[in-house]
Amino acid sequence: MNAKEAVARRIQKLCSEHDIAVNALANQCGISPSTVYSMLNTKSKNPGVITIQKICDGLDISLREFFDDPVFDDLEPIIK
């Protein structure tokens, strides 16, 4: 799994844990739903840390909590 896929899975998991829909998450975070959907569909080539921080702020979690998940443990290397 690559980092983009891991970020998408983590957002989906957090939405489920917080019982919040993607549109509601976007509104709560002050970002457009299309931005969140592009991250979930891995169309976003580089989900920015600022956008991830806005998601964290909207969910009242830290960046550390966002990335502290087993989904990030075995990412494919970018440089081989």
Q: State both tokens at 16.
A: 């489920």
CB distance 39 to 11 below 8 Å: yes
Residue 80, in any domain of the structure:
no
Residue 60, in any domain of the structure:
yes
Residue 54, in any domain of the structure:
yes
Q: How confident is the model at residue 47 (pLDDT cuts 50, 70, 90)?
A: confident
What residues make up the domain containing 10? 3-72
12-24 confidence digits (pLDDT tens)? 999 999 999 999 9
pLDDT greater than 70 at residue 42: no
Task: Provide the CATH number for the domain around residue 59.
Answer: 1.10.260.40
Total domain count, the chain = 1
pLDDT greater than 90 at residue 59: yes
Q: For residue 36, count other CB atoms closer than 10 A to its CB.
A: 24
Residue 77, in any domain of the structure:
no
How many residues are given for the chain? 80
Rg (CA), the chain: 12
38-42, 46-50, 58-62, range with greatest mean pLDDT = 58-62
Residue 17, in any domain of the structure:
yes
